[in-house]
Amino acid sequence: MAVKKQNRAMSKKKSYAWKYRIRWKVMIPFLVLVSLVLYLICSLLGYLFSPNRNQITICGFDKTETLEVMNSRFDASYEIGDYLFYGEHLSLFTADYDPSIEEWLVGKDLLLKNLCTEETVRMTIGPALDQQIDLTKLEPGFYELYVEDDEQIKRLTYDEILPENSFSTIVRNEKVKTVELLSDPELMQNKKAVFDKNYLFLTVEEEKPDKGEIDVFIDPYGNSTDKRDTVDAGQVYHNISENKEIYSAALQLKEKLEDAGLRVAISRGSSDETTTLFGEDGRLIKAYDAHAKYYIKLGMNGSPFDYARGLEVVYSAYASDAFAKGIYEGLVRNTALVGSTLHDLDGEHPGLIQSLLVEGKDGRVLYDEYLYVREAGGKGTLAGRKDERSMLNAFAKENRYGMQAIELNYLYLSNIEDLNYWKENKDQIIEETARALCDALGVSYE
């Protein structure tokens, strides 16, 4: 019996020892895993609370070099209160944009210092929305912004920290330039003010184009309720329909511009489609949603007077004539289209028309008479404000991303000379329209 008890005791000890050996084999990998998890947690917490976590670098510099190359203090400064994009131009304003108030910046030189190349670009600020910062002229880089005021250089600041506001130019050579305004004093380091003020910076990067965005939005006139509640089919003279002719021209123009590398959309799916310019279901919101930069309204005119004929190109009162004139001159030079016999303001460019300003519902004489150039230009051209119909475009009222728009009316269908020339030379006219547009945009056309 004693031997049996001793054997049972020894057997128990062996059993316990075996059990312990099994637990250690499990425990050792478990402890290693716990240690690894604790290490990762500590590393993550250290990263999250690191003062340099959000520090960005520029121009290929490291963090130290980035801070050294930037001016964190500047004695003289001037505060900016608003900004707008129009076409491919960026405009800055000293207060919330109001075209009825004379802008202090007009006539002064804006200096853009590229910290990556140490080169400074000088641009004189004009009164029009396309006469400030021409984004197509800026090379990739990180820019500090200054203004020259009576020979004194002042650093530009902003009255708040700007939210995300990136903008891309049209496609050139299969690339776009993406720009953004920045004004965060903690820009370079998280929760540590590197700059003593909200200094303005402008970043410019060259990137591949987003296929979802549009460069040129073509809006052929016809079958719309843009100007009245009933459907306007467009001009019809000598059994020729503006709606059919212009929609066909729009399709041709779209194809030629796309061959030049541009992203293009047409406002209607067919010439039979009935649409409106206004509201959430209208044509215009499509252009805004696609971030179009240029809006081209195509059409023709008609008149009870036989002598009325010729080409007309209309642009906004808030824009210069540069873009519209480029297209006008290209068409007159390379086709037999003649300038309008009804509109000759300067004696040199008959049919090149700057929209007049007319009174709106609010009693202010600030609104483009021509509705297409007004409603496409966003906040800069006071879109969505003039009257009840315009107010249906509430999405455009405060939109800082306005399209540079023209109304291009080729001829008067009511004039037999104009009509015959169109019939015989339509393909050439569309070809030269595409060429003139590309030349005005700085896009190669072959």
| Same domain (yes/no): 185, 321 | no
What average pLDDT does range 397-420 have in this prediction?
97
Taking the C-alpha atoms of residue 48 and residue 165, their distance in angstroms, rounded to an integer, is 26
| Same domain (yes/no): 401, 338 | yes
What average pLDDT does range 70-81 have in this prediction?
79
Which distant-in-sequence residues (6+ apart) come within 8 Å of 247 by Cβ?
220, 222, 268, 270, 271
Residue finishing a domain among 175, 207, 239: 207
Task: Tell me: pLDDT of 17 over 90.
Answer: no
What average pLDDT does range 8-21 have in this prediction?
48
Which distant-in-sequence residues (6+ apart) come within 8 Å of 48 by Cβ?
none
Asked if 112 contacts 143 with a C-beta cutoff of 8 angstroms, the reply is yes
Q: What single string gives the DSSP state of each residue in 283-340?
A: SHHHHHHTT-SEEEEEEEE--SSTT---BEEEE-TTS-SHHHHHHHHHHHHHSS--B-
Residue 29 lies in a domain: no
Residue 370 lies in a domain: yes
Find the range with the poorest average confidence among 32-36, 52-56, 185-189. 52-56
Find the range with the poorest average confidence among 55-64, 249-258, 341-350. 55-64
| Same domain (yes/no): 337, 189 | no
Residue 171 lies in a domain: yes
Which distant-in-sequence residues (6+ apart) come within 8 Å of 145 by Cβ?
92, 110, 111, 112, 113, 155, 156, 199, 200, 201, 202
Residue 77 lies in a domain: yes
Lookup: tokens for 255 = 């194809």
Give the CATH number of the domain where residue 317 resides: 3.40.630.40
Q: What single string gives the DSSP state of each residue in 113-135?
A: EETTTTEEEEEE--SSTTSSEEG
| Same domain (yes/no): 400, 263 | yes
| Same domain (yes/no): 223, 82 | no
- Between residues 74 and 178, which one has the greater pLDDT? 178
Residue 18 lies in a domain: no
Q: For the chain, how many structural domains are there in total?
A: 2
| Same domain (yes/no): 233, 93 | no
By DSSP bridging, strand 357-359 and strand 365-368 are: antiparallel
- Domain ranges, residue 410: 216-441
| Same domain (yes/no): 198, 220 | no
Residue 127 lies in a domain: yes
What letter does residue 224 receive in the DSSP assignment?
A: B
CA-based end-to-end distance of the chain: 111
pLDDT at 20: 47
| Same domain (yes/no): 198, 295 | no
Asked if 214 contacts 254 with a C-beta cutoff of 8 angstroms, the reply is no
Which distant-in-sequence residues (6+ apart) come within 8 Å of 51 by Cβ?
189, 190, 191, 192
Taking the C-alpha atoms of residue 19 and residue 23, their distance in angstroms, rounded to an integer, is 6
Taking the C-alpha atoms of residue 307 and residue 415, their distance in angstroms, rounded to an integer, is 7
Residue finishing a domain among 155, 189, 207: 207
Taking the C-alpha atoms of residue 117 and residue 344, their distance in angstroms, rounded to an integer, is 47
| Same domain (yes/no): 201, 225 | no
Residue given tokens 């291009």 in the structure block? 408
Kindly indicate the confidence band of residue 41, based on its pLDDT and cuts at 50, 70 and 90.
low
| Same domain (yes/no): 164, 236 | no
Kindly indicate the confidence band of residue 377, based on its pLDDT and cuts at 50, 70 and 90.
very high
| Same domain (yes/no): 177, 293 | no
What average pLDDT does range 309-314 have in this prediction?
97
Residue 50 lies in a domain: no
Residue finishing a domain among 181, 207, 233: 207
Task: Tell me: pLDDT of 182 over 80.
Answer: yes
Taking the C-alpha atoms of residue 226 and residue 230, their distance in angstroms, rounded to an integer, is 9
Taking the C-alpha atoms of residue 7 and residue 9, their distance in angstroms, rounded to an integer, is 5
**Average pLDDT over the chain, rounded to whole?**
88
Distances (CA, A) of 176 to 88, 114, 136, 182, 206: 11, 19, 9, 19, 6
| Same domain (yes/no): 200, 312 | no
Residue 145 lies in a domain: yes
